[in-house]
Amino acid sequence: MTDFKVVLSDPKEGISYKVEATGGMAGALIGKSVGDIIAGDALGFAGYQIAITGATDKTGIPARRDLPGLTRRKLLLANGTGFRPTYDGQRRRMTIRGAEINEDFVQINAKVVGYGEKSLKDYFAPAEEAAK
User: What is the pLDDT of the chain when averaged over all its residues?
Assistant: 89
Task: Provide the residue range defining the domain that includes 117.
Answer: 4-65+101-131
Q: Judge whether 88 lies within some domain.
A: no
* Residue 83 phi, psi (nearest 5): -155, 130
Q: Judge whether 73 lies within some domain.
A: no
Domain count for the chain, please give it. Answer: 1
Burial (Cβ within 10 Å: 0-12, 13-18, ≥19) of residue 120: buried
Q: Judge whether 83 lies within some domain.
A: no
Summarize pLDDT for 69-126 with one digit per residue, the tens. 888 999 999 988 878 899 999 999 999 999 999 999 999 999 999 998 888 888 887 6
Average pLDDT over residues 5-29: 91
pTM: 0.85
* Residue 130 phi, psi (nearest 5): -70, -30
Q: Judge whether 34 lies within some domain.
A: yes
Q: Judge whether 78 lies within some domain.
A: no
Q: Judge whether 37 lies within some domain.
A: yes
Q: Judge whether 116 lies within some domain.
A: yes
Q: Judge whether 19 lies within some domain.
A: yes
